């Protein structure tokens, strides 16, 4: 199972919006609505930000939103803040009954 494809890095200024894409195939993202996104700060465990494509767990800011179209999922962060600077990973269920992560995207807040 190949990793989902994410851009290696994205950047934005405080207050701006950014979108991170996550491209898979018809056997993972395209087949299931089990797409989730995780935020990871250096030296810390990942934190769930979005699950089942567009659902936000309790306690996660509504500046974070998710969507999906075909084989590509997206995470949008609006009103960028300094504390959003982190690595972000997408994840999807696959037709092999396994789970696959994206390679990760480093978000830099300028």
Partner 1 sequence: EVQLVESGGGLVQPGGSLRLSCAASGFTLTDYVMSWVRQAPGKGLEWVSGISGGGGDIFYADSVKGRFTISRDISKNTVYLQMSSLRVEDTAIYYCAKRSGGSGNFDPWGQGTLVTVSS
CA distance 68 to 51: 12
Which region, judged by CB under 8 A, interacts with partner 1, from 15-23, 50-58, 64-72, 75-83? 50-58
CA distance 45 to 3: 20
Exposure b/e, 20-58, CB count within 10 A at least 16 = b: bbbbbbebbbbebeebbbbbeeeeeebeebbbebeebee
- Count residues near partner 1 (CB under 8 A): 29
71 part of the interface to partner 1, by CB under 8 A = no
Q: From the centroid of its chain, how far is CA 89?
A: 5
Task: Please select the residue that binds partner 1; options are 24, 64, 89, 109, rule is CB under 8 A.
Answer: 89
Task: Please select the residue that binds partner 1; options are 23, 65, 93, 109, rule is CB under 8 A.
Answer: 93
What is the pattern of x (binds partner 1, CB under 8 A) and - over residues 7-36? -------------------------xxxxx
Q: Which residues here bind partner 1, judged by CB under 8 A?
A: 1, 3, 32-36, 38, 40, 45-48, 51-52, 55, 57, 89, 91-93, 97-104
């Amino acid at each position: 199972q190949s990793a989902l494809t994410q851009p290696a890095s994205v950047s934005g200024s405080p207050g701006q919006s950014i979108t991170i894409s996550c491209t898979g195939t018809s056997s993972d993202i395209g087949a299931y609505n089990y797409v989730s996104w995780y935020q990871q700060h250096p030296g810390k465990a990942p934190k769930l930000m979005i699950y089942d494509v567009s659902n936000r767990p309790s306690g996660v800011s509504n500046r974070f939103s998710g969507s999906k179209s075909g084989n590509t999922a997206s995470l949008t962060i609006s009103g960028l803040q300094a504390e959003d600077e982190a690595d972000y990973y997408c994840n999807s269920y696959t037709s092999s009954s396994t789970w696959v992560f994206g390679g990760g995207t480093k978000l830099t807040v300028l």
